């Protein structure tokens, strides 16, 4: 929120003028007492119909500052991860309950259970390794203030989320041979689509053209090593 039109006569004072009833303007016009709510700063200097009046300067709120853009330092290292993973795990918990209650219609029975477990463990392992490698690249990159584009970030802009949505969460469902538990990665993907725009807006504002080029050659979630060009 901008209040440029209200800053014409701001004198830097953080306290309102006296509310005494004897205070008058430059032409003897009495100025009514003004309430002080801590968000408005008063300064003289403007005129209304030839009479000096005081124009309020409205201090921007924290919400206003965030609306105008925030620095990368305000972006949590965890990002939107908890808001994505926790609901997904709860969805999987509900799916596990359905499978235990009705194993016939909700169980994966076209293959032996050990086959599902083996595939699930492979997905879990791949997802876990991706997340760990991504964290190892991300932490020093943030400390140095640079855009991370190496390691798993070469094939997906969000390898931590990709590791969860495409590896860990489906792997859990496969280990339990449960169709309803596949709701977990679906929920995570839907929440990811809603929240990742905020995270990437921070990066776009911080890194500008470097981010634009990176986003053009690397997918947001689905790994695609054939799309990348250069570092």
Beta strands in 49-194 (DSSP E): 51-58
pLDDT for 154 equals 93
Q: Is the pLDDT of residue 92 over 70?
A: yes
The residues, any chain, with a CB within 8 Å of residue 64's CB and separated by 6 or more, are: 1
What value does the mean pLDDT take over residues 110-137? 95
pLDDT for 82 equals 85
Q: Compute CA distances 198 → 30, 66, 195, 210, whole Å.
A: 50, 11, 6, 18
Q: Is the pLDDT of residue 135 over 60?
A: yes
Q: What is the per-residue pLDDT across 29-77, written as a single tens digit (0 to 9) for each?
A: 444 444 444 433 444 444 444 555 443 433 444 443 443 444 444 555 5
Q: Burial, 9: exposed, middle or buried (Cβ in 10 Å; 0-12, 13-18, 19+)?
A: middle
Q: How many Cβ atoms are within 10 Å of 99's Cβ, its own excluded?
A: 21
pLDDT for 210 equals 95
Highest-scoring range by mean pLDDT, 19-23, 35-39, 175-179, 197-201 = 175-179
Of 16, 62, 19, nearest to 40 by C-alpha is 16
Please name every residue paired with 44 in a beta bridge, in sequence order, or none if there are none.
54
pLDDT for 51 equals 52
Q: Is the pLDDT of residue 222 over 70?
A: yes
């Amino acid at each position: 929120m901008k209040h440029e039109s209200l800053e014409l006569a701001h004198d830097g004072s953080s306290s309102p003028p006296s509310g005494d009833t004897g205070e008058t303007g430059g032409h003897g016009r009495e100025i009514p007492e003004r309430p002080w709510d801590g968000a408005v700063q008063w300064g003289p200097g403007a005129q209304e119909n030839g009479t000096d009046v005081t124009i309020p300067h409205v201090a921007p709120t924290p919400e206003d500052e965030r609306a105008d853009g925030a620095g990368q330092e305000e972006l949590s290292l965890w990002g939107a991860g908890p808001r994505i993973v926790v609901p997904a795990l709860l969805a999987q918990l509900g799916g596990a309950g359905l499978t235990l209650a009705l194993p016939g219609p909700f169980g994966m029975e076209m293959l032996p259970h050990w086959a599902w477990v083996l595939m699930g463990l492979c997905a879990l392992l791949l997802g876990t390794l991706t997340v760990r490698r991504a964290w190892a690249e991300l932490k020093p990159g943030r400390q140095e203030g640079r855009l991370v584009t190496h390691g798993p970030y070469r094939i997906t802009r969000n390898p931590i989320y990709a590791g969860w949505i495409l590896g860990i969460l489906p792997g859990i469902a496969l280990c339990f041979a449960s169709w309803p538990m596949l709701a977990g990665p679906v929920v995570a993907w839907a929440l990811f689509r809603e929240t990742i725009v905020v995270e990437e807006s921070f990066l776009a504002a911080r890194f500008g053209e470097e981010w634009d080029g990176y986003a053009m050659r690397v997918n947001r979630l689905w790994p695609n090593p054939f799309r990348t060009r250069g570092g």
